[in-house]
Chains A and B, each alone.
Chain A
Amino acid sequence: MPVPSRGYGDLDQVRIRDGIDACRSAFQELYDTDLRRAVLLLNDRRLTFSTLYIVSPRIEERVYPYLRERLVAAIRLIERVRGDGSAQGGRRRMDQAEHGALRWILDTGYAQDGLDETYEEVMERAVSLLINIYHDTAILPRVADMIFARYRKGRNIHDLTWAYFQSDHPDALRLIARRFSSDDSSDTKLARGLLHIDNDDLENGEYQSYLRWLRDNDPYLYFTGESLQYASAPAFYRVDPVRKYLQKGTASYRRKPVTPADEEERGRLEAFSELAEEEKNILAAHSQKVHTRDAAAWKRWMGRPVEEQLRAAKARGEGSI
């Protein structure tokens, strides 16, 4: 058993030293005999979410006014996950206090992820709220760690993964790509699956190779909203071949249709939209190459009919997007 650190509060020290049941019993006894002291221990700034979670079933609503705001927000979240009907009135407030409480849950609770299934669900909801409501992308590295840790243990990653990709942030991709070089084969398997990379796509130096791909395609990248509820191998993100073909990137990572600049571009877009998906990808990749090499040459190339562009791209053996 790890040696308790001086950085932990008294209740955490009991949990770490003596275990969950001992911590729960000790708190219950204190709660029944000396409520004031029990509240003091809960309000200790060093208290972790893990310990609060363990003792929370004993804490009655009449005590909430004496607790730190973040503790009450955390207890309310636990109650909602447990499906306690009395918690329905305690719907979340979208404010800085709740944001702080959710960060506290994640920061002090993630190390114990897997304590039990309700705990996992609470962590998922905290992550989901932080990303979807507070757009807190600073948590992505921690969430990525949780996803991979759960996967190694065969635990559920579905809602955590969904929330993670709801961030619509390219860091979500970079953080996963880092696992390409992991010594643990389950990490690399999951990383490839999440990023939709076939075994043969990237071989040597695949992390650097992926980063190069990401840099080149970033302006055309969008997140799809697909999830494991929808498909076996969801494509969480894609490259928009229309934007790449026209070399019209966007700062947004949500798909936005291109508005043609003039009639000429409208015609080109119409011809492009008639192509098969594979041909669109070939043409988009070729367009990017020509543009990178020589912008003036690209302008001349774009003036040619789409069929001619495609023939040139195929002749150069252009591959996938």
Chain B
Amino acid sequence: MIAIGGQPFDIDTLADVYAPDSLEWDILGRMSDSAGTYAYDSLSDLSFELTLRREIVSAARALARSRFSFAVFHKSRCNEDYWDRTASGGFDLKEGAVPSEAVMDIYTNGGKYATECATAILVVYYRALLETYGAGRFNALFPRIHLMNWSGLDPLIREAGTPKKAADQLPGDRGYFRNPEVDPETPEWQGENVIILSDTLYYGHGIGVTRAEGIIRGLNAHRKEGATQSAYLMDEVGRPDFKKLAALYDEGAVRGAYPEWGLSHPRVSVMY
């Protein structure tokens, strides 16, 4: 169920805001039908989460279409106009580079980049936050970006690095397929971080957009000799703290940080 301000919330209230075939409406339906409780202080917090989840899914699909490729950290590469490659194979935003432009460059010049699956999920998060906040607010909130799986996460998205059991796996969640009997020579196949796109589709860097069976098949092809245990989707999910990020959005709205959206932005249209 969904609760706002401690009261059960009827999603039909939002039937005029979200189209019946929209991702947001799909998520609302799942939340409403859930055995768990999705509790919010305000309607705007809920709408922010829906917007960010939609942007995460869009950013994942867009990354799958880009030429961004897979490489282990020792062989990772990036566009050095925007990023410095670190000694451990991660990418740090280059001094003087504009965060929003650097994130978008990964999409437009994907062929210049290669890294592991977890880092790709981070790229997805940053693109989604950029689309949600707009460049001005995004650049103010994320002046330094470090891209390397879940290490050294920005405090604003730290929670995404700590998967937890959840009542549901919703579009926009980070899932993880574990490969318990991976070939010891290919530890990069020990698991696959994915963005859940729908109830049947996942985006995993290096594998693409596919069903769970496709990801499992990919992982199982990299098991050690004589392995008997299949890869599987774990029941834990990684989520950023949507409420914390919503509060930052509201703070920006108070400061007039989103002039380019006006009232057309879905979040804003629900807020006012």
Contacts and interface: CB of A to CB of B under 8 A. Distances in A.
Of the listed residues A129, A153, A231, the one surrounded by the most CB atoms of chain B closer than 10 A to its CB is A231
Interface residues of A, number: 32
A163 B187 contact: yes
A153 B158 CA distance: 24
Contacts of B118: 229-230
B73 interface: yes
A125 B186 CA distance: 8
Nearest to A225: B180
Given A155-B87, A162-B187, A162-B190, A229 B116 contact: yes
A120 B150 contact: no
A162 B116 CA distance: 15
Interface string B171-215: 000001010100011011011010000000000000000000000
A232 B157 CA distance: 11
B87 A132 contact: no
A228 B89 contact: no
A108 interface: no
B225 interface: yes
A229 B74 contact: no
A16 B153 CA distance: 40
Contacts of B190: 162, 227, 229
B244 interface: no
Q: Indicate the size class of the contact surface on chain B.
A: 20 to 34
B224 interface: yes
A225 B178 contact: yes
Contacts of A80: 185
A218 interface: no
Contacts of A154: 86-88
B44 interface: no
A129 B185 contact: yes
A131 to B, nearest CB: 7
A233 B86 CA distance: 20
A10 interface: no
A92 B75 CA distance: 23
B117 interface: yes
Contact of A117 (B75, B150, B151, B188): B75
A94 B87 contact: no
Contacts of B185: 80, 92, 125, 128-129
Interface string A105-135: 0000000000001101100110011011100
A94 B225 contact: yes
A247 to B, nearest CB: 26
Contacts of B74: 117-118, 120-121, 156
B167 interface: no
Interface string B67-96: 000001111000000000011110000000
A120 B72 CA distance: 12
A177 B87 CA distance: 26
A232 B87 contact: no
Contacts of A157: 88
B178 A128 contact: no
A225 to B, nearest CB: 6
A154 B84 CA distance: 14
B161 interface: yes
A131 B88 contact: no
B37 interface: no
B88 A128 contact: no
Of the listed residues B178, B184, B238, the one surrounded by the most CB atoms of chain A closer than 10 A to its CB is B184
Interface string A146-185: 0000000111111100110010000000000000000000
B163 A121 contact: no
Given A128-B184, A129-B185, A230 B176 contact: yes
20 contacts: A92-B185, A94-B225, A124-B187, A125-B184, A128-B187, A129-B184, A131-B184, A155-B88, A156-B73, A157-B88, A158-B151, A229-B116, A229-B117, A229-B149, A229-B150, A229-B191, A230-B150, A230-B191, A231-B238, A233-B162
Interface of A: 80, 92, 94, 117-118, 120-121, 124-125, 128-129, 131-133, 153-159, 162-163, 166, 225, 227-233
Given A154-B86, A154-B88, A225-B180, 18 more contacts: A118-B74, A121-B74, A124-B187, A125-B184, A128-B184, A131-B184, A133-B224, A156-B87, A157-B88, A159-B72, A159-B187, A162-B187, A229-B190, A230-B150, A230-B178, A230-B193, A232-B151, A232-B153
- 5 closest A-B pairs by beta carbon, nearest first, are A232-B161, A132-B184, A232-B150, A156-B88, A128-B184
